[in-house]
Amino acid sequence: MCDNDDKRFLVTSHIDRWADNPENRGNLANTLLLCRIHDSLFEYGYFSFTDNLEILRKPTKSLFTNTVLLNTTEFLARPIVPPAPQFLHNHRSRTGY
């Protein structure tokens, strides 16, 4: 989602949180590789995805967050294992999309 290539700042982000869906913790279709900033923004619902992986954004008053979101336009590299629609749906529901 950004041009960060420093492995120290990349995390495996769960679409459906561990606590919400323990049976899918190891399911690669429930994960995204994100930088720590995008991971936090995703976790708190500042952005989500359609089933076609188009980005959905929420308005915010934070200049920093808006700047990051405006520069987040698409996946720079498509995931090897695409996120499953069921997990994306759950994320959208949980975060108010």
- Of 4 and 95, more confident: 95
Identify whether 1 is part of a domain.
no
User: Rounded to whole angstroms, what are the CA distances from 30 to 59, 77, 90, 93?
Assistant: 25, 17, 11, 15
Arithmetic mean of pLDDT, 57-74: 91
Identify whether 85 is part of a domain.
yes
pLDDT band for 71, please (50, 70, 90 cuts). confident
Arithmetic mean of pLDDT, 8-31: 94
Identify whether 88 is part of a domain.
yes
pLDDT band for 89, please (50, 70, 90 cuts). very high
Identify whether 22 is part of a domain.
yes
Identify whether 2 is part of a domain.
no
Residue 89: domain span? 7-95
Report whether pLDDT(77) > 80: no
Domain count, the chain: 1
Asked if residues 4 and 10 have their Cβ atoms less than 8 Å apart, the reply is yes
What's the pLDDT score for residue 65?
Answer: 94
